[in-house]
Amino acid sequence: MILPDHEIRKLLKEGRIVIKPLDEDIQIQPAGIDLRLGNEFRVFKATSLPYIDTRKKPEDYTDTIKISNDKPFIIHPGEFVLGTVMEYMKIPSDLMGSVDGRSSLGRLGISIHATSASINPGWEGMFVLEITNSGKAPVAVYPGMRIAKLTLHKLSSPAEKPYGSIGKEKYQKQDDILQSRIHEDNE
């Protein structure tokens, strides 16, 4: 079941869902919450490495760029960058989230996630976007613009082990853009 606007408002008021800062009049939609683009990005460096080994801690292969809130960030055709949303979120153990890009940006060639569109029950932090420009022209995006939509899904019962309950989760309570930590997987 996807939560509608009035249930989202109720859970926010009760403190069961935390999304800050939030302008309810603009961001709460009929079946989700619009998320705004933050002002910090990770861009990938040109490298002479033959490949990135997913079993080893990676070299520093990205640069962090922070822009002022009134300046554009230009995403060039074929470019892949990590960006963050402005909002800090906390999802309870009986909900999960999914993040989708906005159609208006998709029509310009901008996708806001490559693979990780879901948010686990119990997750807390600033969600990181995997932004790609698959169009033919550079696109300017701005901090504070609505870039994605969070849809909240009710689970049939609370998760037995919500994200963050074990203490080894790689991205719990992240407040900036972390590089991949896939090398920490114990498989």
Indicate which CATH number applies to the domain containing 98: 2.70.40.10
Cα–Cα distances (Å) from 146 to 87, 94, 122, 167, in that order, read 11, 26, 24, 32
By C-alpha distance, which of 68, 87, 84, 70 is closest to 27?
Answer: 87
Name the residue range of residue 152's domain: 5-44+59-156
Residue 124 placed within a domain: yes
CB 126 within 8 A of CB 176: yes
Q: Which residue has tokens 């109720």?
A: 10
Q: Are 32 and 152 in contact (CB under 8 A)?
A: yes
Establish whether 184 is a catalytic residue. Answer: no
Q: Which amino acid is at 92?
A: P
The tens place of each residue's pLDDT in the chain, 187 residues long, gives: 999 999 999 999 999 999 999 999 999 999 999 999 999 999 988 777 787 777 777 777 788 999 999 999 999 999 999 999 999 999 999 999 999 999 999 999 999 987 778 899 999 999 999 999 999 999 999 999 999 999 999 999 998 987 767 766 655 556 666 665 556 666 6
Q: Which of 130, 160, 169, 184 is catalytic?
A: 130
Tally of domains in the chain = 1
- Stated pTM of the model: 0.86
> Is 170 inside any structural domain?
no
